[in-house]
Structure 1
Amino acid sequence: MNVSYKYGLLVFVPLFITLTLGCSKTPTYSRTEFVMGTSVVISVFDSDKSKQTIKAAVDAAFEEIKRVDTLMSNYKDNSEVSEINRLKGGERIKVSDETMEVLRRSREISALTKGAFDITVLPLLELWGFYGDSNTDRRPADKEIRAVLKSVGYKKLKLGGGNSVIKSKDGVKIILGGIAKGYAVDRAVRILKSRGIKSVLVEAGGDLICAGVKPDKNLWKIAIRHPRVKHKPIAILETEGCAIATSGDYENYHIVEGKRCSHIIDPRRGYPRGDLPASVTVIAKDVATADGLATAVFVLGPVEGMKFVENTPDIEAIIISDEAGEIKTVVSSGLKERIIFPRN
């Protein structure tokens, strides 16, 4: 997390988006911790509470994020996700209410997007070298992709009563990275609000909530990062508060056969799409939803993705494409009056 103070602005530069508060007032209390594989920043602006009260609330919020990570991490052997991935076909396991909630919401997003978002994509990520020790710039053979696709598909994971999870066949493995971080941010804000915090920002590697009234009573300003120029905003969103998530091709990619290959693989086909955006930012009712839909819209591509956004209630999006070096930005209809494009 790079923080700079300039001309009375407090500018955060996280993984995918830049957040500009646009006022001279700094947070009453702010803390950064590395959780869920990324920097998580909680900034509180309430001025009517003691530092001790705010610190206790932030402590509780971070503990909740860590608890979600303990349940849903692919990198913790004792997590419920790791236990699910060790199951054989036909075996079942009982999971916590929180993990089941994320699994059910993932399934809803998968159904809504016709499989463009799919938590069973992990075998494909391994094949393409985007997970674990399988880093590679080799393009998998078509027959390898066809073989792995037999273990991919959200309907291959059965969710039953009593929080039971059943695998339909061997080889099915899940990864919740496309939604669990957003879910953790949502829960952290819920904890903060329950402790009386009214004005807060929580950001975790491209997932963000700005909640409550900004200290100067003006709109929050969220600056969307330019996908090809680090630390440069390409657009600024003005909002009273929002849940937002960004997926981009610029932090995790390989160069395969001379072309940029994003870590976001189309789980329906087994390949990255040729017309993938450079970045997708989604605004939704909560960060978990925005997180999952940002991945889905990225997979759908600029044209189909924006059509999906315009036809789906309660979401908006900014899709940025790199067409042979020419950057193009498309904004959904509900955002057009809230977006500012800085002059170069």
Structure 2
Amino acid sequence: MDDYWRGRFRAMASPCEFFMEEEDETQAWRLLQTAADEAWRIEHKFSRYSDENVIHQINSNHGRAVKVDDEVAHLLDFAQQCWELSDGMFDITSGVLRRVWQFNGGSEIPDEASVKALLPLIGWQHVNWSRPYFTLPEGMEIDFGGIGKEYAVDRVLLRLKQLTGGKLLLNFGGDINTNGRSGGDGAWSIGIENPDHPDSATALLKIRQGALATSGDARCYLLHGGKRYGHVLNPKTGWPVEHAPRSVTVAAPTCTEAGMLATFALLHGNNAESFLRGQEVKYWLRR
């Protein structure tokens, strides 16, 4: 018999699960609602699909500066750090490439001219970021899709820990964070998705505390001419990273950090393993 309470909701185009060691069902439902509300708040605030948030304001402000709040500033600082640490390979201005790339499991790829036409609209080096003012050249866009879900996991867990001393685990579409477990031998059992069979696990992990994040092409890819194209794009060429692993899972203290390292590993292509070894983190990689 399970010694935890389980709840579900949906946010950021992902199934979100909430596991808690809680005997009071009324309290558990209250905490689940708090988790969902915080996830939905973050989704609304940072989604590129909304025309009522600060991201839309920045992307449509025709090169004029936008004053942002502390939360947005925090993510912009993190995005700049990611860009610097990755030598420009992790770039939140590269979202414009979705205009020509649709990783829906189909077979259609864009022509080289269409991709090349978008490259002048990519490059963090072109933005002007001086807290609290952010200026984006006209025609460029920012997109927090590469870090938003992991950030939401960390923020929701932090919010819940302010309300309860209970042990929790959050799983937002495979991005996970936990403050531990009392039962179940002190660990949660987590399956790593098999990229060849996305509804099955390729490995079972035990996590006692901290975060896991997975990046890969199990659900977002193209097949063209017998070649599989993963969804992680090189912002300097506009094309999918060559020889990237099928899946990378990284363990780290926070989900944001784990997600950053998993994505960085994919961006390293053939050198993903050596990059991860250099970070001295636990990881699980499948090619």
Confirm or deny a common fold (TM above 0.5).
yes
Runs of 5+ consecutive residues of structure 1 not aligned to the other structure? 1-23, 322-344
Match of 2:163 among 161, 185, 195: 195
| 1:139 and 2:109 are equivalent in the alignment | yes
TM-score (structure 2 length as normaliser): 0.92
**1:181 positional shift:** 0.7
Q: How many equivalent residue pairs?
A: 287
By how many angstroms is 1:195 displaced?
0.6
Deviation (angstroms), 1:26:
4.2
In 1, the alpha carbon distance for the partners of 2:272 and 2:213 equals 15
Asked if 1:40 is matched to 2:7, the reply is no
Structure 2 CA distance, aligned partners of 1:84 and 1:74?
A: 11
Q: Distance in 2 between matches of 1:171 and 1:264?
A: 22
Which of 122, 133, 136 lines up with 1:164 in the alignment? 133
Counterpart AA for 2:10: F
Q: 1:68 aligns with which of 36, 39, 42?
A: 42
Q: Which residue of the partner structure matches residue 270 of structure 1?
A: 238
Residue of 316, 341, 344 corresponding to 2:282: 316
Higher helix share: 2
Pairing of 1:116-265 with structure 2 (within 5 A): 116-130=89-103, 137-161=107-131, 163-167=132-136, 169-265=137-233
Cα distance in 2 for partners of 1:66, 1:160 equals 28
Q: Which amino acid aligns with 1:157?
A: V
Q: CA shift at 1:265, angstroms?
A: 1.0
TM-superposition CA deviations, 1:213-271 (whole Å, max 9, x none): 24233332222121112433222222322211111212122223332222221112211
Give the corresponding residue for 1:56. 30
The answer as to whether partners of 1:128 and 1:136 remain within 8 angstroms in 2 is no
Contact 2:198 2:218 in 1 (8 A): no
Residue 25 (1) aligns with residue 11 (2): no
* Identity score, percent: 27
Work out the CA distance in 1 between the residues paired with 2:99 and 2:253: 32
Q: What's the TM-score once normalised by structure 1's chain length?
A: 0.77
The residue aligned with 2:83 is: 110
CA contact (8 A) 1:138 1:256 kept: yes
Q: Return closer, same or farther for 1:271/1:198 CA change in 2, 3 Å cut-off.
A: same
Do the aligned residues in 2 keep the contact of 1:117 with 1:296 (CA within 8 Å)?
yes
Shift in CA distance, 116/319, structure 1 to aligned 2, threshold 3 Å? farther
1:103 Cα shift?
1.6
Alpha-carbon deviation of 1:192? Answer: 0.9
1:180 & 1:307 partners in 2: Cα distance?
26
Does the Cα contact within 8 Å between 1:206 and 1:245 map onto a contact in 2? yes
SS in 2 for 1:311: helix
- Residue 81 (structure 1) shift: 1.4
Name the counterpart of 1:95: 68
Provide the rounded CA distance (Å) in 1 between the counterparts of 2:167 and 2:89: 35
Separation (CA, whole Å) in 1 of partners of 2:231 and 2:253: 26
In structure 2, the CA distance between the partners of 1:198 and 1:256, relative to structure 1 (3 Å rule), is same
Q: For the structure 1 residues 245 and 309, does the alpha-carbon distance in structure 2 shift closer, same or farther, using more than 3 Å as the test?
A: same
CA contact (8 A) 1:220 1:240 kept: yes
Whole-angstrom CA distance in 1 between matches of 2:46 and 2:194? 31
- Residue 125 (structure 1) shift: 2.2
Amino acid at match of 1:60: T
Q: 1:102 offset after TM fit, Å?
A: 1.4
User: 2: distance between equivalents of 1:280 and 1:312?
Assistant: 14
